[in-house]
């Protein structure tokens, strides 16, 4: 594929309420239709209430998933618009709105009836990875000798990865502008060409160190954890999934922030994008993970978070993303964290640390200084072929529950009940709905060697008012899926009677 057609530049926008207010007042509009029931749709609702503009109804593809109302206003499937439309003004609210605008034009909505109020925040490029061939790129400055003074170690643990995505990941590390690195590549029992490709690069660049585990091990395995601990070098380390990639400026930017501020952890912004560059939610259907063509894990990061209490609160409020990747850690902190894991009883480690949610929770709990870059420097693609859809074990839900209980206990000791409940619910809601999207996760309960412990936690879940309120009383998106999930947990807990 032509590289120029595979690396696509996007402008990023945010809602401009000031401009929207001026446009609506200039048009002397007293009633509009609004597309979008996300955060922007809620902000527009608040604005229009304050200035006396009525929202006739909302449009959103989420109406196909049993969403009937938003902020007390009817939500309509866009497919019904052509028959319902009577010449009203339509406000388009989502920040990523090109596909919506195109859909409106395709369905003969006059351009002068469409109101868009946004300001551009940045531009970025996404590399979809389809242009990578069957050989290493020739334009990389490969290093023939090992770096004398390693500043940071990149760690990739790989099983089976499509060749083009694997090459994209490897080359994103080798192209780092700060070149004093070690690239620790752990082969975790791949059965495809992953080992051949990695060793091909290792012969060309002495900064790559390859460890073959000989079989596929869970991330909680002592042998795997020790392989990381004993082989990271330098001041910092970071993780990279074998189908993700870093911007070439990632390390230089993160190290500069870390060195200047004595940070334990440096977070960068991650862009999560659909693997299909042609993806269009207006006509391709929608589920929880398919937000749009791309989105960001943290849109407006804090400059810094200092102190255990503040870090835990930021994590609970999703001011720090729960993924382990997209962050640079000091090796001092990382080794403390790995020592903690390896000293845990095997059952606790294997049941609760199979997913980033608990891994990130634990390492954050050990940190005192977290700093952020506001630049998008890490890219992660989502696809129905990802293991997050195909291999989700019940231990992932246990990881969330473990983290939630720990955070909840702390937060209720720091804040009044009202605030503590809101913070705890916010954390659980974000991550629990992601779990609901893992179809079949609950089917793996009987195959878990920790089945009895899992069932005990199910009993805790159905006794937790916040857990129940999210799944049973949720009146919006994924209502049927949420209730089905709760009913399964309820049944597996051994409870009888009405849910």
Q: Burial, 47: exposed, middle or buried (Cβ in 10 Å; 0-12, 13-18, 19+)? A: middle
Average pLDDT over residues 419-448: 90
- Model pLDDT, residue 103: 94
Across 95-104, 159-168, 391-400, which has the greatest mean pLDDT?
159-168
- Length of the chain as a residue count: 499
* Structural tokens at position 97: 């709105």
Render pLDDT for 193-214 as a digit per residue (tens, 0 to 9).
999 999 999 999 999 999 999 9
Q: Which residues of 64-92 are buried (b: 16+ CB within 10 A; e: fewer)?
A: ebebeebeebebbebeebeeebeeebbbb
* Structural tokens at position 287: 């589920």
Average pLDDT score over the chain: 92
- Model pLDDT, residue 288: 45
Q: SS3 of 214, please?
A: coil
What is the C-alpha separation between 214 and 442, in angstroms, rounded? Answer: 30
Residue 168 and residue 132 in contact, taking contact as beta carbons nearer than 8 Å: yes
Average pLDDT over residues 403-420: 97
Average pLDDT over residues 285-308: 75
What is the C-alpha separation between 84 and 73, in angstroms, rounded? Answer: 16
Domains of the chain (ranges, CATH numbers): 3-125 (3.40.50.720), 152-391 (3.90.550.10), 395-492 (no CATH)
* Structural tokens at position 82: 């052509």
DSSP single-letter state for residue 93: -
Render pLDDT for 300-341 as a digit per residue (tens, 0 to 9).
788 999 999 999 999 999 999 999 999 999 999 999 999 999
Residue carrying structure tokens 């920790």: 450
- Model pLDDT, residue 386: 60
- Model pLDDT, residue 418: 97
Q: Burial, 185: exposed, middle or buried (Cβ in 10 Å; 0-12, 13-18, 19+)? A: buried
Question: Rounded to 10 degrees, what is the CA torsion of 416, 321, 217, 193?
Answer: 170
- pLDDT grade for 287, boundaries at 50, 70 and 90: low
Average pLDDT over residues 44-48: 98
Q: Residue 31 above 70 pLDDT?
A: yes
Q: Phi first, then psi: give them for residue 458, nearest 5 degrees.
A: -60, -40
Q: What's the longest Cα–Cα distance across the chain?
A: 71
What is the C-alpha separation between 327 and 250, in angstroms, rounded? Answer: 10
């Amino acid at each position: 594929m032509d590289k120029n057609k595979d690396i696509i530049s996007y402008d990023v926008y945010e809602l401009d309420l000031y401009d929207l207010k001026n446009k609506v007042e200039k048009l002397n509009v007293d009633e509009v239709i609004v597309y979008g029931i996300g955060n922007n749709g809620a902000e527009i609702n608040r604005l229009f209430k304050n200035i006396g503009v009525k929202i006739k109804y909302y449009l959103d593809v989420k109406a196909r998933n049993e969403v009937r109302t938003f902020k007390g206003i009817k939500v309509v499937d866009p497919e019904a618009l052509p028959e319902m439309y009577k010449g009203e003004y339509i406000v388009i609210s989502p920040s990523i709105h090109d596909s919506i605008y195109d859909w409106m034009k395709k369905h003969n909505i006059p351009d002068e009836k469409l109101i868009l109020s946004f300001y551009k925040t940045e531009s970025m490029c996404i590399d979809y990875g389809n242009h990578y061939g069957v050989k290493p790129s020739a334009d990389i400055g490969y290093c023939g000798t090992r770096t004398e003074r390693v500043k940071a170690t990149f760690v990739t643990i790989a099983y089976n990865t499509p060749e083009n995505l694997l090459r994209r990941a490897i080359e994103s590390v080798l192209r780092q502008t700060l070149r004093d690195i070690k690239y620790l590549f752990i082969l975790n029992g791949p059965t495809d060409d992953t080992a051949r490709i990695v060793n091909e690069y290792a012969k060309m660049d002495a900064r790559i160190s390859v460890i073959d585990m000989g079989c596929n091990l869970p991330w909680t395995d002592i042998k795997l954890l020790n392989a990381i601990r004993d082989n990271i070098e330098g001041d910092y380390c970071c993780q990279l999934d074998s189908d993700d990639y870093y911007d070439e400026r990632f390390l230089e930017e993160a190290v500069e922030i870390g060195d200047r501020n004595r940070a334990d952890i440096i977070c960068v912004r991650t862009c999560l994008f659909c693997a299909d560059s042609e993806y269009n939610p207006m006509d391709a259907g929608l589920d929880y993970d398919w937000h749009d063509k791309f989105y960001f894990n943290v849109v407006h990061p804090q400059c810094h978070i200092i102190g255990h209490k503040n870090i835990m609160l930021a994590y609970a409020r999703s001011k720090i993303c729960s993924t382990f990747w997209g962050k640079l850690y000091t090796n001092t902190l990382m080794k403390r964290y790995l020592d903690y894991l390896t000293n845990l009883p095997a059952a606790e480690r294997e049941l609760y640390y199979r997913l980033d949610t608990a891994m990130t929770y634990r390492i954050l709990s050990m940190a005192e200084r977290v700093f952020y870059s506001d630049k998008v420097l890490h890219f992660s693609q989502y696809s129905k072929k990802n293991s997050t859809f195909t291999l989700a074990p019940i231990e992932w839900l246990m990881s969330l529950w473990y983290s939630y209980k720990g955070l909840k206990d702390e937060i209720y000791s720091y804040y009044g009940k009202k605030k503590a409940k809101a913070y705890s619910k916010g954390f659980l809601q974000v991550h629990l709905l992601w779990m609901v999207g893992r179809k079949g996760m609950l089917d793996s309960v009987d195959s878990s060697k920790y089945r009895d412990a899992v069932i005990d936690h199910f009993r805790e879940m159905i006794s937790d008012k916040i857990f129940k309120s999210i799944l049973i009383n949720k009146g919006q998106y994924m209502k049927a899926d949420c209730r089905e999930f709760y009913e399964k947990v309820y049944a597996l807990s051994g409870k009888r009677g009405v849910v």
